[in-house]
């Protein structure tokens, strides 16, 4: 019921109900939220707490498939999206349950409703797919270039003043060629921009800098510099929702890693278990040391394979000891490799020290709150220090201190 | 598959470069200079290198064992310190003095401050400074092919020999001059330093900024030997590529590294021109080592997106 950033949904079905594919299982009143729809037709088996990829228990609706995949005509298809009011487009996008499918799962209709004083000049499609191992966006760009370009055109329809650009890392020449071909066929209003392969190129602020040479001010949103960044799978969903009337019920998941027998991209119905996808990819060749949801740099390691695929699951990555042993920390040797690696110019080693001494003010004054948790510093660290984790702790520490300060302010206000 | 999978914090993969590998690369890069020393100064070089490495390693092992710490011998930093100390002493130094220098470097300079990564000044250079203070004669007796004579810098300074007796640039380049074991062959040191820059273990900033600063100042001062002799003499090449670049005791910020290196260059030049010693590399690096925390603080880089947020106010 919580496949997105924002308020979780409340179930709108109960145990024993028969549901169709595409039917709403949960929804919420809150603006920052997105409905969850069934990926199969069948019977609701359970509504209750279940473990998800993060290891936390969350409210889930379990639907047992009848194998028929009977669809509910949830949304109306529109043969010409130009005839649909922009406001209506945004409403359909919400109804379809579209969220950022690159992994963050931020509700797309919220992104498409910036404050009126923000002029959107750029809509950037994120086809960077910069995490190592993952390949699902590449596959999608090859097979569904029309829908991606179409989805971007719909976004341009919502923001007529904006320029549409698709940013793709240049290690995907086939995807670039295919997108260029499609964009030209469809009138050439969309530009394809290949850029260098460089992690973390897919990070929103990095991609905006690459495309527009503008830096998003720290603490600000892309809309503040007139940009929206939308993942290519999200654009695909925007197209299918508005043009074909199909809500978000499935996604492409890269099932990869050195212990996966037959690594592949799988089009998986949402809610399918990680275990079933691993089995579809031939299972494990030997016991994995880690199974991750997402990529190796930012993905989360899972405690169990019996957790559902959600809208933001870009990959399942199973790694052996060879890639992911247990790393033992040693002293920092001040080699400054983390300083060169940090894409936003932080001093990870200094941040690490500040956090370990619980000096959160120092952490904040060094700019630690800007950390995007890309993992580059930890990756390069020869002393194997958990620098990214320190930054996470630091951010949490600063937030806790702020909350405390606010609470005491309110307390003194009462007196 | 019933057991719980291991959970850990992202990122889940790491580069292959470890502290130990970095140390081994630096040690490998120092081998050519050692071979040059062996060639020009003879077999005693091997004894001194062995004495320093063994005593540094043993000291670290004993210290950590009896202070209840986990041993860090496997990171090879003690071996590197021993090697660097040996390269910074004359080939005629009695072995027991070399052992004293090693113990001082490991215990007082490195482990009193908390071991690897925590020391404020370079252990090998501090060890050398201690030896120079305690046994100045033994530490400044230079022999080449069994004949003792002045170092090039002493000649340039005018405290020994005549300027005509300055070795040729070719001899300076290959290392056929009197000096410390590992400092004389600019050729061998440049080969090793080049390897480290190529492997991205050190950046070009410190060595280049250091050497250029010394070259420019010696030109301004109009020193007798000329710029090339100035640059290739003394421990400058060894210091610039292998000592000033020591991670622990140099700044972490790119701008800080340049400031640090220029500072080393200025102090080296001042000591050479006006100081009591003909050579200033060791002391200049030691002096700049203690300024590193301040330099780091001054040169904290601009965070991505920070400037414009001020504009927006």
* Minimal CA separation from A290 to chain B, in Å: 6
Answer whether B247 touches A (CB < 8 Å).
Answer: yes
B311: nearest CA partner in chain A: A217
For chain B, give the mean pLDDT: 90
pTM here is 0.86
Q: Is the pLDDT of residue B311 over 50?
A: no
* Minimal CA separation from A239 to chain B, in Å: 33
* Minimal CA separation from A377 to chain B, in Å: 9
Q: What is the arithmetic mean of pLDDT over A66-87? A: 84
Res. A411 pLDDT band, cuts 50 70 90: confident
Q: Cα separation of B231 and B241, whole Å?
A: 13
Q: What is the arithmetic mean of pLDDT over A52-59? A: 85
Of the residues B7, B118, B304, B312, the best mutation for testing chain A's interface (the one with the most A CB atoms within 10 Å of its CB) is B304
pLDDT at A414: 66
Q: Test B5 with A384 for CB contact under 8 angstroms.
A: no
Among A96-110, A258-272, A294-308, B238-252, top mean pLDDT goes to B238-252
Q: What is the pLDDT of residues B187-210, one digit of tens each?
A: 999 999 999 999 999 999 999 999
**Which domains are present in chain B?**
19-296 (1.10.3430)
Q: Test A334 with B117 for CB contact under 8 angstroms.
A: yes
Q: Cα separation of B303 and B312, whole Å?
A: 16
Q: Test B11 with A298 for CB contact under 8 angstroms.
A: yes
Facing residue for A217 by CB, picked from B1, B17, B308:
B308
Answer whether B2 touches A (CB < 8 Å).
Answer: no
Of all residues in chain B, the percent with pLDDT exceeding 70 is 96
Res. A220 pLDDT band, cuts 50 70 90: confident
pLDDT at A358: 92
Residue of A384, A335, A396 whose CA lies nearest to A360: A396
Q: What are phi and psi of A374, to 5 degrees?
A: -75, -20
Q: Test A347 with B252 for CB contact under 8 angstroms.
A: yes
Q: What is the pLDDT of residues B276-293, one digit of tens each?
A: 888 889 999 999 999 999
* Minimal CA separation from B274 to chain A, in Å: 33
Q: Which residues of A touch B14 (CB under 8 A)?
A: 327, 378-379, 381, 384
Residues in Cβ contact with A400 at an 8 Å cutoff, skipping those fewer than 6 apart: none
Q: Report the topology of domain A250-319.
A: Ubiquitin-like (UB roll) (3.10.20)
Q: What is the pLDDT of residues B170-181, one digit of tens each?
A: 999 999 988 999
Q: Test B19 with A217 for CB contact under 8 angstroms.
A: no
Q: Test B5 with A218 for CB contact under 8 angstroms.
A: no
* Minimal CA separation from B28 to chain A, in Å: 18
Res. B307 pLDDT band, cuts 50 70 90: low
Tokens of A42: 């069948």
Answer whether B312 touches A (CB < 8 Å).
Answer: yes
- On whether the CB atoms of residues B6 and A289 are closer than 8 A, the answer is yes
* Minimal CA separation from A322 to chain B, in Å: 9
pLDDT at B305: 77
Q: Cα separation of A189 and A396, whole Å?
A: 43
Q: Where are the domains of chain A?
A: 10-65, 81-244, 250-319, 337-414
Q: Is the pLDDT of residue A415 over 70?
A: no
Q: Test B21 with A382 for CB contact under 8 angstroms.
A: yes
* Minimal CA separation from B41 to chain A, in Å: 34
Q: What is the pLDDT of residues A234-257, one digit of tens each?
A: 999 999 999 988 899 989 999 999
Domain at A81-244: CATH code? 3.40.50.11540
Q: Cα separation of A264 and B283, whole Å?
A: 60
For chain A, give the mean pLDDT: 89
Facing residue for A382 by CB, picked from B22, B253, B296:
B22
Among A321-330, B104-113, B173-182, B302-311, top mean pLDDT goes to B104-113
Q: Test B13 with A132 for CB contact under 8 angstroms.
A: yes
pLDDT at A303: 85
Cα distances from A319 to residues A84, A259, B290, in angstroms, run: 46, 6, 44
Among A16-25, A38-47, A293-302, B75-84, top mean pLDDT goes to B75-84
Q: What is the arithmetic mean of pLDDT over A145-162? A: 90
Q: What is the pLDDT of residues A114-136, one digit of tens each?
A: 888 888 898 998 988 778 888 88
Q: Cα separation of B252 and A230, whole Å?
A: 36
Q: Which residues of B touch A370 (CB under 8 A)?
A: 303-306
Q: Is the dihedral of CA A378, A384, A387, A393 positive or negative?
A: positive
Class of A10-65 per CATH? mainly beta
Facing residue for B305 by CB, picked from A205, A302, A319:
A205
Q: Cα separation of B113 and A62, whole Å?
A: 59
Among A181-185, B91-95, B226-230, top mean pLDDT goes to B91-95
Give the β-pairing of A290-293 and A315-319.
antiparallel
Q: Which residues of B touch A362 (CB under 8 A)?
A: none
Q: What is the pLDDT of residues B222-264, one digit of tens each?
A: 888 888 999 998 899 999 999 999 999 999 999 999 999 999 9
Q: Test B305 with A370 for CB contact under 8 angstroms.
A: yes
pLDDT higher for B158 or B100?
Answer: B100
Cα distances from A21 to residues A61, B55, B259, in angstroms, run: 14, 74, 65
Burial of residue A9, with CB atoms counted within 10 A of its CB: 0-12 exposed, 13-18 middle, 19 or more buried = buried
Facing residue for B253 by CB, picked from A296, A347, A376:
A347
Q: Cα separation of B77 and A339, whole Å?
A: 22
* Minimal CA separation from B72 to chain A, in Å: 9
Q: Test B116 with A336 for CB contact under 8 angstroms.
A: no
Give the count of alpha carbons within 13 A of B231, CB side only.
22
Q: What is the arithmetic mean of pLDDT over A34-46? A: 91
Res. B36 pLDDT band, cuts 50 70 90: very high
Answer whether B117 touches A (CB < 8 Å).
Answer: yes
**DSSP per residue over chain B, as a string?**
--SPPP--PSP----S--HHHHHHHHHHHHHHHHHHHHHHH-THHHHHHHHHHHHHHHHHHHHHHHTTPPP-GGG-HHHHHHHHHHHTS-TT--HHHHHHHHHIIIIIIIGGGTSTTT-SS-HHHHHHHHHHHH-HHHHT--EETTEE---HHHHHHTSSS-GGGSPPHHHHHHT-SSS-TTTS-HHHHHHHHHHHHHTTSS-SHHHHHHHHHHHHHHHHHT-TT-HHHHHHSTTHHHIIIIITT-STTS-SSHHHHHHHHHHHHHHHHHHHHHSSSS--HHHHHHHHHTTHHHHHHHTPPPPTTHHHHHHH-
Q: What is the pLDDT of residues B130-169, one digit of tens each?
A: 999 999 999 988 888 777 777 888 888 877 777 778 888 9
Backbone torsion region of residue A219, taken as left when φ is above 0, otherwise alpha when ψ lies between -120 and 50, otherwise beta: left
pLDDT at A196: 86
Answer whether B291 touches A (CB < 8 Å).
Answer: no
Q: Is the pLDDT of residue B313 over 60?
A: no
A338: nearest CA partner in chain B: B252
């Amino acid at each position: 019921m919580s496949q997105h950033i924002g308020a979780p949904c409340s179930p709108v079905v109960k145990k024993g109900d028969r549901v169709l594919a595409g039917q709403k299982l949960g929804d919420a009143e809150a603006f920052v939220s997105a409905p969850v729809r069934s990926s199969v037709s069948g019977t609701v088996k359970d509504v209750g707490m279940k473990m998800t990829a993060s290891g936390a228990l969350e409210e889930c609706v379990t639907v047992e498939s009848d194998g028929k995949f009977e669809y509910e005509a949830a949304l109306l298809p529109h043969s010409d999206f130009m005839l649909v009011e922009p406001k209506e487009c945004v409403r359909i996008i919400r109804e379809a349950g579209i969220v950022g499918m690159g992994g963050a799962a931020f509700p797309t209709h919220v992104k498409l409703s910036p404050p009126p004083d923000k002029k959107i000049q750029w809509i950037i499609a994120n086809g960077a797919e910069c995490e190592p191992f993952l390949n699902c966006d590449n596959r999608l760009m090859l097979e569904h270039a029309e829908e991606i370009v179409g989805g971007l055109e719909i976004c341009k329809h919502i923001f007529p003043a904006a320029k549409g650009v698709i940013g793709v890392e240049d290690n995907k020449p086939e995807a670039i060629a295919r997108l260029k071909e499609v964009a030209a066929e469809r009138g050439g209003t969309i530009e394809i921009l290949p850029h260098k392969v460089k992690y973390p190129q897919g990070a929103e602020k990095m991609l905006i800098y690459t495309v527009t040479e503008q830096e998003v001010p720290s603490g600000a949103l892309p809309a503040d510099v007139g940009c929206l960044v939308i993942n290519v799978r999200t654009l695909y969903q925007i197209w299918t929702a508005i043009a074909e009337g199909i809500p978000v019920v499935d996604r492409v998941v890269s099932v990869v890693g050195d212990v996966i027998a037959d690594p592949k991209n799988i089009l998986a119905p949402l809610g399918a278990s990680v275990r079933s996808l691993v089995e579809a990819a031939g299972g494990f060749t030997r016991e994995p040391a880690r199974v991750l949801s997402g990529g190796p740099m930012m993905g989360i390691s899972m405690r169990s394979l019996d957790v559902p695929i959600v809208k933001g699951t870009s990959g399942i990555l199973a790694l052996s000891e060879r890639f992911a042993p247990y790393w033992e920390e040693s002293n920092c040797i001040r080699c400054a490799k983390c300083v060169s690696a940090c894409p936003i110019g932080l001093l990870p080693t200094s941040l690490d020290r500040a956090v370990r001494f619980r000096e959160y003010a120092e952490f904040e004054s060094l700019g630690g709150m800007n950390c995007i948790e890309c993992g580059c510093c930890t990756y390069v660290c020869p002393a194997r220090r958990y620098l990214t984790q320190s930054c996470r702790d630091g951010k949490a520490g600063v937030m806790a201190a702020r909350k405390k300060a606010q609470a005491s302010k309110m307390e003194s206000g009462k007196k | 598959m019933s057991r719980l999978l291991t959970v850990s914090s992202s990122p889940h993969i790491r580069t292959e470069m470890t502290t130990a590998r970095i140390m081994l690369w630096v040690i490998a890069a120092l081998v050519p200079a050692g071979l040059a020393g062996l060639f020009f100064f003879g077999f005693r070089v091997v004894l001194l290198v062995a004495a320093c490495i063994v005593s540094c390693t043993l000291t670290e092992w004993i210290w950590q064992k009896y202070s209840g710490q986990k041993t860090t011998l496997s990171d090879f930093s003690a071996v590197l310190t021993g090697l660097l100390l040996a390269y910074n002493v004359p080939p005629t130094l009695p072995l027991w003095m070399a052992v004293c220098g090693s113990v001082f470097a490991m215990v007082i300079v490195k482990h009193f401050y908390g071991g690897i990564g925590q020391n404020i000044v370079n252990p090998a250079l501090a060890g050398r400074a201690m030896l120079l203070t305690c046994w100045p004669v033994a530490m400044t007796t230079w022999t080449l092919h069994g004949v003792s004579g002045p170092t090039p810098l002493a000649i340039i300074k005018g405290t020994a020999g005549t300027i005509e007796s300055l070795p040729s640039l070719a001899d300076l380049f290959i290392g056929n001059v009197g000096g410390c074991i590992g400092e004389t062959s600019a050729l061998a040191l440049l080969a090793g330093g080049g390897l480290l820059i190529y492997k991205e273990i050190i950046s070009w900033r410190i060595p280049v900024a250091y050497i250029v600063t010394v070259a420019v100042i010696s030109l301004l001062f109009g020193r007798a030997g000329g710029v090339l002799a100035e640059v290739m003499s003394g421990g400058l090449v060894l210091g610039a590529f292998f000592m000033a670049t020591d991670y622990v005791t140099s700044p972490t910020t790119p701008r800080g590294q340049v400031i640090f290196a220029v500072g080393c260059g200025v102090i080296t030049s001042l000591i050479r021109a006006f100081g009591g010693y003909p050579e200033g590399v060791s002391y200049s690096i030691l002096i700049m080592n203690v300024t590193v925390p301040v330099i780091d603080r001054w040169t904290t880089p601009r965070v991505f997106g920070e400037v414009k947020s001020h504009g927006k106010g």
